[in-house]
């Protein structure tokens, strides 16, 4: 990807390209950013838990999987079922790809090649910029999404799939998403709620459906609902009980394989449950599709968007 498309993640100034690094042209900033294996590492260390040194020598990457693990991940049934993936992908395509459009999309967390939006960022009419914190095939830039290395308003759409739970500052990430989207641009977000820790130390947050909506209070809601329901959450909870007895990587792998074989069928109950109001209150995960607004909604207005089935904690009493 042409480096002129990138900006300094701290001041958003242009970058000069050198052999092994990029340099911010803003005199008061003048930060240097390494280029490792041909991929720029555009991380503002003042806002991130990651350091440029993490990508030198043997850089951060996803853990290597054995042949047995790869086989198991490919052929064993999953505990999860995204009941809204196809409909959401079609909706985002309709929003971003009207006749003749050639949208530019930022895919944050691009290590999900088989995610719900894969048909969108693989579309021949879409220019997709892949941003991640680890090296993987197709990654254009290493960056922490709390300080994105792009100018304001340069994207028509942003995809944030299974990312926000791994961010120390999810509100800051969503503010950055809002910044880099053009006015009227679209966002797709999917984030977990009732799911155990699944990324070790890099796992920080969970969001109820309403908390997920509040993160995107700078967006008009187009669609919001359950991506993976309470039945999938139950399957993962059972697996977590069994994992509590495991004391090694090998035993954890065995427990996960056994759980998939024994409990994969539970997720299909979500085909019946996902549209019920109570599913929002115990979903494995929820999705949000929205359009960028110039001004955020108030928290008072957001409260009225609760769509679950649990009675409110605070109610108005009728008085004569």
In the predicted structure, residue 1 carries a pLDDT above the cut 70: no
246 pLDDT band (50/70/90 cuts)? very high
In the predicted structure, residue 182 carries a pLDDT above the cut 90: yes
The reported pLDDT for the residue numbered 36 is 86
Name the residue with higher pLDDT: 272 or 2: 272
Pairing of strands 104-108, 127-132: parallel
pLDDT, average across residues 222-229: 96
Q: Taking each helix axis from N to C terminus, what angle separates 230-243 and 249-263, rounded to the nearest 10 degrees? A: 140
The reported pLDDT for the residue numbered 4 is 78
300 pLDDT band (50/70/90 cuts)? confident
Neighbours of 289 (CB within 10 A): 22
The reported pLDDT for the residue numbered 119 is 84
In this structure, what token pair is assigned to residue 116? 């719900």
pLDDT, average across residues 137-144: 91
Name the residue with higher pLDDT: 122 or 24: 24
The reported pLDDT for the residue numbered 122 is 81
**Dmax over Cα atoms in the chain, in whole Å?**
78
The reported pLDDT for the residue numbered 113 is 62
- Average pLDDT of the chain, as a whole number: 91
Report the range of poorest mean pLDDT among 1-15, 66-80, 107-121, 190-204. 107-121
In the predicted structure, residue 108 carries a pLDDT above the cut 90: yes
Q: How far apart are CA 181 and CA 157, in angstroms?
A: 7
319 pLDDT band (50/70/90 cuts)? low
114 pLDDT band (50/70/90 cuts)? low
For the chain, the first-to-last Cα distance in angstroms comes to 68
Encode pLDDT of 248-291 as tens digits: 988 999 999 999 999 999 999 999 999 999 999 999 999 999 99
Q: Do residues 212 and 191 touch, judged by C-beta distance below 8 A?
A: yes
pLDDT, average across residues 149-161: 96
Q: H or E element: which one contains 266?
A: none
Name the residue with higher pLDDT: 69 or 192: 192
- In the numeric block, the tokens 């359009």 are attached to 291
Distances (CA, A) of 172 to 30, 54, 176, 190, 261: 23, 22, 6, 17, 39
Question: Residue ranges of the alpha helices (H) in the chain?
Answer: 67-75, 85-96, 118-121, 170-180, 209-215, 230-243, 249-263, 270-273, 299-303
Residue 301: half-sphere exposure toward Cβ, Cα within 13 Å: 9
Name the residue with higher pLDDT: 36 or 115: 36
The reported pLDDT for the residue numbered 101 is 83
User: Is the pTM for the entire model greater than 0.75?
Assistant: yes
Pairing of strands 285-292, 155-161: unpaired
Encode pLDDT of 184-209 as tens digits: 999 999 999 999 999 899 999 999 99
* Percent of all residues in the chain with a pLDDT value above 90, rounded to a whole number: 71
pLDDT, average across residues 31-51: 93
pLDDT, average across residues 95-105: 89
237 pLDDT band (50/70/90 cuts)? very high
- List the Cα angle 220/224/230 in 5-degree steps: 160
In the predicted structure, residue 318 carries a pLDDT above the cut 70: no
Q: How far apart are CA 116 and CA 287, in angstroms?
A: 10
The reported pLDDT for the residue numbered 127 is 93
- Residue 38: which region, alpha, beta or left (left: phi > 0; alpha: psi -120 to 50)? left
What's the CATH code, domain 67-303?
A: 3.40.50.150
Pairing of strands 127-132, 32-36: unpaired
- In the numeric block, the tokens 């042209």 are attached to 25
């Amino acid at each position: 990807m042409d480096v002129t498309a990138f900006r300094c993640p701290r001041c958003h100034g242009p970058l000069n390209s050198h052999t092994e690094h990029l340099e911010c042209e803003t005199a008061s900033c003048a930060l240097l950013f390494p280029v490792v294996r041909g991929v720029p590492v555009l991380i503002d260390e003042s806002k991130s838990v990651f350091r440029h040194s993490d990508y030198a020598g043997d850089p951060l990457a996803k853990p290597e999987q054995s042949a047995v693990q790869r086989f198991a991940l490919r052929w064993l049934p999953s505990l999860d079922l995204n009941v809204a993936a196809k409909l959401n992908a079609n909706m985002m395509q309709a929003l971003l790809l009207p006749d003749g459009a050639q949208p530019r999309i930022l895919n944050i967390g691009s290590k999900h090649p088989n995610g719900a939006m894969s048909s969108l960022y693989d579309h021949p009419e879409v220019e997709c910029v892949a941003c991640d914190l680890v090296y993987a095939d197709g990654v254009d830039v290493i960056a922490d999404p709390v300080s994105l290395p792009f100018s304001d308003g340069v994207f028509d759409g942003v995809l944030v799939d299974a990312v926000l739970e791994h961010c120390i500052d999810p509100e800051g990430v969503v503010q950055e998403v809002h910044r880099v989207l053009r006015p009227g641009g679209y966002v797709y977000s999917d984030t977990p709620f009732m799911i155990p820790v699944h990324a070790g130390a890099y796992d920080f947050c969970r969001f109820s459906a309403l908390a997920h909506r509040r993160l995107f209070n700078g967006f008009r809601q187009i669609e919001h609902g359950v991506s993976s329901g309470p039945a999938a959450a139950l399957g993962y909870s059972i697996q977590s009980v069994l994992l509590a007895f495991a004391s090694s990587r090998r035993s954890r792998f065995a427990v996960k394989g056994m759980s998939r074989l024994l409990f994969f069928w539970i997720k299909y109950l979500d085909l019946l449950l996902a549209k019920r109001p109570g599913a929002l209150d115990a979903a494995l995960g929820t999705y949000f599709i929205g359009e960028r607004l110039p001004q955020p909604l108030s928290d008072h207005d957001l409260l009225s968007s609760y769509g679950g089935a649990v009675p409110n904690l605070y109610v108005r009493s009728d008085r004569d």
